[in-house]
Amino acid sequence: MTVYPITGLGDFGANCYIVPTSEKNALLIDAPYSAELISEKLDALGLKLKMILLTHGHCDHIEALGGLVKRYGCEVYVSAEDAKMLTDPGLCLAEYFGSDFTPFYGAKPLGEEVQLDDVVLKVIRTPGHSAGSVCYLAEDCIFTGDTLFEGSVGRTDLGGDFSQLIDSIAVLCRLGKNRVIYPGHGGASDIDTEIMYNPYLEELRRQL
């Protein structure tokens, strides 16, 4: 699978990922800051954006939604648990961080998988960072959002649950194959490296 990362966007250094299909369409994992920058990358690649898949509903992963949908007419998918975050500046933490916020209406609920042309992504429910956080599994890749980072994990002090987060990461670690992880912030890694070295997974390491 081909993945085009766009990293370090906005004040929170958020990432998003373009995944092309054989038909020159694309889906986007998360939509952080700068619809213009993301559009420039899509246009440079000659891709038409058809879907935006959100890993969760926090403000630093949704700011570009309106601009991208206006330009491409693409569909937006989010978990049912996090859907209200797209329309509520309190729930998405925009008020807490003093971030710009424009409500987005019309997102569709996620099912068990998402398919665009020849690209199929399995939706893995990974609550902990937020109640409706999800990861997307496709071939040898997992888009982990703010569930699992290189050398760290998502914060849980703003409405999350650390125990639940670790249980969710255990689900990723038990998928039976080492895979590259593409997180919502920071650099890429892989499951085996995180199991072995991530300091937040010490107790989980002993259980696996």
DSSP-assigned letters across all residues of 128-169 = TSSTT-EEEEETTEEEEETTEETTEE---TTT--HHHHHHHH
pLDDT 10s digits, 2-56: 999 999 998 899 999 999 999 999 999 999 989 999 999 999 999 999 999 999 9
Q: Is 65 exposed, middle or buried (0-12, 13-18, 19+ CB in 10 A)?
A: buried
Check: pTM over 0.85? Answer yes or no. Answer: yes
Task: Write the single-letter amino acid at 109.
Answer: P
Rounded Cα–Cα distance for residues 150 and 89 (Å) = 28
pLDDT in tens, the chain (208 residues): 899 999 999 889 999 999 999 999 999 999 998 999 999 999 999 999 999 999 999 999 999 999 999 999 999 999 999 999 999 999 999 999 999 899 999 999 999 999 999 999 999 999 999 999 999 999 999 999 999 999 999 999 999 999 999 999 999 999 989 999 999 999 999 999 999 999 999 999 888 7
What is the chain's mean pLDDT, rounded? 96
Rounded Cα distance between 156 and 18, Å, is 27
Considering the domain 4-207, what is its CATH architecture?
A: 4-Layer Sandwich (3.60)
Q: What are the beta bridge partners of residue 108?
A: 77
- 195: number of Cβ within 10 Å: 17
Domain ranges of the chain: 4-207
Quote the pLDDT of residue 208: 78
Residues 6+ apart with CB under 8 A from 2: 19, 20
Q: How many CB atoms lie within 10 A of CB 181?
A: 22
DSSP 16: E
Rounded to 5 degrees, what are φ and ψ at 38?
-65, -40
d(CA 139, CA 133): 20
CA 71/CA 110 separation, integer angstroms: 23
Phi, psi of 113 (to 5 degrees): -155, 165
pLDDT at 74: 97
